[in-house]
Amino acid sequence: MRIGEVCGLRWCDMDFETGLISIRHSVAYAKGMGSFIKDTKTHDARGIPIDPVGLLPFLKETHEIDCGKLRLRGLTGAVEIGDCYILSEPGATFATTSYIRRAFKTFSETNGLMGTNDELITFHGLRHTFATQWIRQGGDIKALQSILGHKDAMATLNVYADIEPISKIHNMLRATPCLWRGHLGPRVDPGPMFQQRIQESIETLQAFGYGITEPDDRNIAIRDVKTNSWL
């Protein structure tokens, strides 16, 4: 999710039964207007599955806490919990994107949260981390495009993945055994020989400082990207 979309989330956007978050609004800022609520960047609503292991229990607990705060303040009935913004106190207005950025920067500085580029982790950097790990674990690109709210899958691939020579070498070594079967004969299994070549290739590339893991079937290699606010 984009930072503005997180700021615009209300409890009515959470469906604990289906496990889905509905992204329908976003907080934006314009000079002379200040912060305001608008539709999403692509002008389309979308649904995001809630992580059932870590995020769902946390959201349920936070929801109960906010309901309790409304009761303590005598606001039950006057203020519906569904209309309350998740990042704000119950009954308060939405949190601005600048406030959340500053708060997260302070959190990163206090806890020494550094990224792979030796710079402090930013709130938007969490979005990049999620997308990178999704691809690295073999996740579906079209599904990721929908979750991130990109207009098309090419926007997702152009930022988070790239085809590079190292990936081509690895996948070539994985594809060639079947091509050699006709030459070597049906009784000869070239698999072990090529597996050895693959391992030798990996060791050689690592010796030259390339951080290579297991080859990817889709010819996709992850690259580091800097934060792009337009995403």
How do the domains of the chain map onto residue ranges? 3-113, 165-222
Q: E strands, 44-171, where? A: 46-49, 161-162
Over the stretch 142-191, which tens digit does the pLDDT of each residue have?
Answer: 888 888 888 887 778 777 654 444 555 555 665 655 555 555 455 445 55
Q: Is 138 exposed, middle or buried (0-12, 13-18, 19+ CB in 10 A)?
A: exposed
Q: Please check whether residue 149 is in contact with residue 46, taking contact to mean a CB–CB distance below 8 angstroms.
A: yes
DSSP-derived secondary structure letter, 79: B
CA–CA dist 93, 121 (Å, integer): 27
Q: Which of 117, 97, 121 is nearest to 108 (CA)?
A: 121
pTM score of the predicted model: 0.65
Give SS3 for 134.
helix
Per-residue pLDDT band for 214 (boundaries 50, 70, 90) equals very low
Res 8: pLDDT: 94
Residue 219 pLDDT exceeds 60: no
